[in-house]
Amino acid sequence: MRSTVALTSAVVVLFSKGAAMTGAASVQAEGSFDVKVVPVADEAGTGLGRMSLQKTWHGGVEATSSGEMLTAMAPDKTSGAYVAVERVTGKIGERKGSFSLVHRGVMTSGRQELSITVVPGSGTGELQGLEGTVTIRIEPGGKHFYVLSGTVPGN
């Protein structure tokens, strides 16, 4: 699944956003990631595709993550869907910790819709309270890029 996002060079910005009013700091991080997708046997006989995910994040997010993905495809492969959950451990800017992401992707006759959200309450360490979304872009040739946008409780 692809989502188009205009990217510049890898950058991370952490700044106060109305800290007196909301007590939250805005987070904006972008860069690239390497992903290894390994098929897992369908021992339950569901007919769904199941994959193990391993990622290395570069740029504003310096981290590793692992997760699981389930897929379902139409017989002609022009439509399908996937769901995934992954755990990210590392840092966003200078903030260290971990958090989880939930993915939902749907492709209908080649049109794609992708939603990736930080799992509420999943942040630990300096990323406790992280809320936000991730968009990704996959270039021809397979290079993956991301933009993470959200908030963390501010100082």
Instruction: Give the model confidence (pLDDT) of 85-103 as tens digits.
Output: 999 999 999 999 999 999 9
**Greatest CA separation found in the chain?**
54
- Asked whether the predicted pLDDT for residue 1 surpasses 50, the reply is no
User: What range does the domain containing 125 cover?
Assistant: 11-153
- The predicted model scores a pTM of 0.84
What values do phi and psi take at 64, rounded to 5? -125, 155
In a domain, 40, yes or no: yes
Distance CA 107, CA 70 (A): 14
How many domains would you assign to the chain? 1
Q: Which of 132, 115, 112 is nearest to 123 (CA)?
A: 132
The CATH number given to whatever domain includes residue 49 is: 2.40.350.10
**38 or 24: which carries more pLDDT confidence?**
38
Which residues is 15 bridged to in the sheet? 26
In a domain, 2, yes or no: no
Top mean-pLDDT range of 1-5, 103-107, 150-154: 103-107
